[in-house]
Structure 1
Amino acid sequence: MNGYERRKQKKIDQIYNVSQQLFFKHGFSKVSVNEIAQMANVSPATIYNYFGTKERLYADMLMDWMDKQLELYEDILQSGLSFPDKTKKLMLLEAKNLKMLSEEFLNVPSSELGGLSEMMESYSGNQVMRFFIKFVAMGKQEGFIHQDQTEETTLLYFTMFKKELGRQWEAGNQELVHRSMDVLMELFFFGLVGQGRGS
């Protein structure tokens, strides 16, 4: 990457950071390109040159945010934590992110970002699924996920668990979720019978 490309990327990163703060705080409709430009120390023309429209900036910013969240997930997966602790951290982060995204999409008129849902589904179907396949492989290797379980079945189980955590989080029960995580992880991995009690 030459000097020009580095400067351009730095500006794009500034624009993403500022637009994320503003969009997530005020919603898509209440934020103008001029506000983003002023806070990012660039001209509105620069934003239009890079992104074309406010809608495109919003979609690209959201994809950038999702890439960064996936990097956090990868860091957790590659950390020295035990597999149950990795799972706990991933589920809490995912519950928080689901709440943030659900609130964000409530503030976006569907007519203004028609293709965004498809983009998100495509992202989930590709990048997120690749991450999840690694997660399942690690769980099998460490003996926490049964060898006979398929990725599809494990994903369904993980998603059901995660959605309920997200629902509790959204209902304002974050403290309860945090307090109960160890018990929930016991249920997640060993069911109602518990570790070694059913054999």
Structure 2
Amino acid sequence: MNAYERRVERNKERILQVTLELFQVHGIKKTTTYDIARKARVSPATVYNHFGSKEDLVRATVRYFLTNTAADFGKIFQGDLSFLEKMEQILLYKSDMLSQYQGEFMQTIISEDPEIRHIVDSEYLAGIKQVIINFYEEGKRQGYVNPELSTENIMRYILIVRSGMAAETVLSEDPEHNRKMMQELAPLFLYGIMGKPRLEDAR
């Protein structure tokens, strides 16, 4: 990569960072290409030349966001913590994420838009699928996950939850509301409506 190509990549990286920051604060609809260009200190034409339409920029920003998220999750999954500690870290990460980002942006990520869905399913989820599988297998070995559950059905359950969220607009424009909702849904995801099993029941 020559000097010009490196400069182009730096410009694109900066535009994506700025776009994500503005989406985080103002949401997608209220953020204009002019706002992005001004904060990134480039011309609107530069934004257009690198990413095309605003819709294309939204998709590129989703991809950028998910790439960074996958890297963060990878560090947690591959760390030295126990399964339960890792799960707590992941849920805390997701809660913090929902408290930081506008509901509109998060809803875009779980939307049924074909191109967004392709990015999420074919790039993001496919990229971390084996890491997730290894994580739940680790949970089985440590006694936190029911060993009678097949990993295939665990993955299917995760996809069902995601599809359900995509089918209904469950995220609010209020990030704090989303964070609290995640805190309530997390144990429901882990333990179901029966709640966390008592120690004497787990023996």
TM-score by length of 1: 0.71
State the one-letter code of the partner of 2:7. Answer: R
CA-based RMSD of the aligned residues comes to: 4.2
Which range moves more in the overlay, 154-163 or 123-132?
A: 154-163
Aligned runs of 1:188-199 on 2, under 5 Å?
188=191, 192-195=196-199, 197-199=201-203
CA displacement 1:167-198 (0-9 Å, x = unmatched): 8x9774857987xx9xx59x749x64434544
Partner of 2:69: 69
- The Cα shift of 1:25 comes to 1.8
Aligned runs of 1:78-117 on 2, under 5 Å?
78-97=78-97, 100=101, 102-104=103-105, 115-117=115-117
Query: Where does structure 1 lack aligned partners over 5 or more consecutive residues?
Result: none
CA contact (8 A) 2:18 2:40 kept: yes
Partner of 2:36: 36
- The Cα shift of 1:60 comes to 0.4
CA contact (8 A) 2:139 2:145 kept: yes
Q: Aligned equivalents of 2:81 and 2:196: distance in 1?
A: 24
State the one-letter code of the partner of 2:86. Answer: K
**Identity of aligned pairs, percent?**
26
Compared CA separation, residues 60 and 161, structure 1 to 2 (3 A) = closer
- The Cα shift of 1:22 comes to 1.1
- The Cα shift of 1:138 comes to 2.5
Q: Aligned equivalents of 1:93 and 1:173: distance in 2?
A: 13
Partner of 1:129: 129
State the one-letter code of the partner of 2:15. Answer: I
CA contact (8 A) 1:27 1:107 kept: no
Partner of 2:26: 26
Q: Aligned equivalents of 2:107 and 2:43: distance in 1?
A: 29
CA contact (8 A) 1:140 1:146 kept: yes
Q: State the SS of the aligned residue for 1:94.
A: helix
CA displacement 1:35-92 (0-9 Å, x = unmatched): 2111112222221111111110111011110111111111111222221010111123
Q: Aligned equivalents of 2:145 and 2:71: distance in 1?
A: 23
Query: Where does structure 2 lack aligned partners over 5 or more consecutive residues?
Result: none
Q: Aligned equivalents of 1:54 and 1:17: distance in 2?
A: 15
State the one-letter code of the partner of 1:194. Answer: R
CA contact (8 A) 1:28 1:107 kept: no
Which range moves more in the overlay, 169-178 or 131-140?
A: 169-178
TM-score by length of 2: 0.70
Q: Aligned equivalents of 1:82 and 1:28: distance in 2?
A: 38
CA contact (8 A) 2:26 2:102 kept: no
State the one-letter code of the partner of 1:59. Answer: R
Count of residue correspondences: 192
Q: Aligned equivalents of 1:123 and 1:88: distance in 2?
A: 25
Which range moves more in the overlay, 116-125 or 136-145?
A: 116-125
